[in-house]
Structure 1
């Protein structure tokens, strides 16, 4: 018999013996009981490390009626998960924050009807304690399904039409768009256009509203083209703007990824940035510093957004009343494109 197979798996009794506290105290500490003293909690944590004890999720779920799992649902086509760096950042931060509470994160895509049905089946099966919604569009039938399941849900960014029902954490998209548009005006730009995100998302709608807040009647339909938060969408939207208004001298683009596409189109058409056309993005993602020239953009605190949504969801899972949604400030980041 090998040494590995002969070695007994550590148990909760071993943790109690090494920590010097009762088995009941160990159990309460492992299940997050707030009444466990700091000294006892520290002793249990040290004993867990020393013994190599691993919590048995199946046993814990029988006691707590929880699975120790949260599902993050991306309401976009699968390819966007890999193209847009914002999604990978949100996923990474949420995974890290949940791991601190010994909660696993499952990523699911709900980009079409078939995907949504699979998500609903999974949740109906009782496989998750809560849901983190990502990039949810207005009127998404998945939201109604979630309300029927009565499963705790929190959104990264508001769900349009459900702001008072589903709590969320979000950047102040409208104010960030105001900051960027005002900056372009102050740079002496006279004909400023915008490429929006989808208007059934809070970012698409609120950033357009911020643009219009600053320009007022100068924000004409001719200078507004709708994009889809992809690089190719930014390329196509920029081409459309140049055909409509060849004398434009600035563009506020609703995401860094679309702005990268817009830069490519301007380059193909012989327009210099920022000499002929100034470009401003939104996100301050990794894309912003890698374009040529580097993007002037609006920084949104995505790490904090992810942390706040995890906090709110765990509170709901623990039985708390609906937490207050939170809107976080943005920051203008000036680089070479404007």
Structure 2
């Protein structure tokens, strides 16, 4: 025999209130006295009433979901430890809540502006956006929306909430580490130039070498993938075969750099010293262990999620935009 599901009318009768009062109490307590709220709560517990999420969404203009927006193609999302770490972090932060997570990634031939239109149409209550590129126009399309938080500094941050690591200082820290090891012919495999992380880490590299009056032109741009970095390393060494050190703007790219160096018979660190960036697993798998700059992903994801949930809940901001300091994780690849 099917179990009877309690209705809103039964909750109202049990609580001794009107149907509209019971509905308001269930959907957020607006204009409900403390006594009526307590009576409805007791009735819900006694009857085992489960609110209808669809009806609640209509009553509160909320969907009970947020989006994680990753404007990258499927294959990169599935292989990038930073992006997978963001997904795990946001999903973990929402555990124990009733908020559902919707994942939006960039599909091949996706119409321009589709993600922005989806977010603006109210299909979700808010969004966390990571790995934005200049060409996806997300920061311009979503500027001023209070229910959006970026992981990663936008190109223009006015009207946008974000959390990030200090990528400029991280690039300086990595390059100074190579200088302190006595290296003087230093190059870099930078990140993509349509991302602020790529440009900022390159700026840190340039700043550190400029401070000691060393050339800053040994640069090849990668795409934060191992394959892209392998090709970039070969291009760079074709021009500058005398390099004795490389700052690699991500540990994932350092995997490809190592392959390219081995192809040319170059040893790490005897011939070419390496320092990476991220500390998300690849560094510990390398021999010798990769010296790298820690990207505090857990703290960034937690801060972004808390900021978004606070905005959706009370409408209050949780402090200003957050930029976390980088730290060096010593290995043996820079000595």
Instruction: State whether TM-score is above 0.5.
Output: yes
> 1:111 and 1:128 mapped to 2: Cα distance?
19
> 2:320 and 2:10 mapped to 1: Cα distance?
42
Q: 1:195 aligns with which of 189, 197, 201?
A: 189
> 1:236 and 1:15 mapped to 2: Cα distance?
66
User: Is 1:131 matched with 2:127?
Assistant: yes
SS of the aligned residue for 1:159 comes to coil
Q: 2:248 aligns with which of 238, 248, 253?
A: 253
Structure showing the higher helix proportion among its residues = 1
Asked if 1 retains the 8 angstrom alpha-carbon contact of 2:27 and 2:56, the reply is no
Alignment CA distance shift 1:249-1:61 (3 Å): same
Partner of 1:289: 284
> 1:335 and 1:279 mapped to 2: Cα distance?
10
Partner of 2:16: none
SS of the aligned residue for 1:228 comes to coil
Asked if 2 retains the 8 angstrom alpha-carbon contact of 1:15 and 1:26, the reply is no
Partner of 1:59: 55
Asked if 1 retains the 8 angstrom alpha-carbon contact of 2:243 and 2:272, the reply is yes
> 2:243 and 2:267 mapped to 1: Cα distance?
12
> 2:11 and 2:174 mapped to 1: Cα distance?
56
Partner of 2:15: none
1:211-230 Cα deviation digits (max 9, x unpaired): 11110042432x11111101
Asked if 2 retains the 8 angstrom alpha-carbon contact of 1:196 and 1:224, the reply is yes
Q: What is the TM-score with the length of structure 2 in the denominator?
A: 0.83
1:7-36 Cα deviation digits (max 9, x unpaired): 3447789999xxxxxx98998698599xx9
Shift of 1:115: 5.1
Alignment CA distance shift 1:171-1:28 (3 Å): farther
Partner of 1:74: 70
> 1:215 and 1:279 mapped to 2: Cα distance?
15
1:292-319 Cα deviation digits (max 9, x unpaired): 3321111111011111111122233236
Alignment CA distance shift 1:104-1:158 (3 Å): same
Asked if 1 retains the 8 angstrom alpha-carbon contact of 2:143 and 2:159, the reply is no
Partner of 1:20: none
Which structure 1 residue ranges, 5 or more long, are not aligned?
Answer: 17-22
- Write out aligned runs for 1:252-331 (5 A): 252-318=247-313, 320=315, 324-331=320-327
Q: What is the TM-score with the length of structure 1 in the denominator?
A: 0.83
> 2:150 and 2:314 mapped to 1: Cα distance?
18
Partner of 1:145: 141
Alignment CA distance shift 1:239-1:304 (3 Å): same
1:32-61 Cα deviation digits (max 9, x unpaired): 99xx99xx99xx8xx97x998755321321
SS of the aligned residue for 2:188 comes to strand
User: Is 1:99 matched with 2:66?
Assistant: no
User: Is 1:333 matched with 2:300?
Assistant: no
> 2:29 and 2:174 mapped to 1: Cα distance?
44
SS of the aligned residue for 2:72 comes to coil
SS of the aligned residue for 2:134 comes to coil
> 1:291 and 1:30 mapped to 2: Cα distance?
53
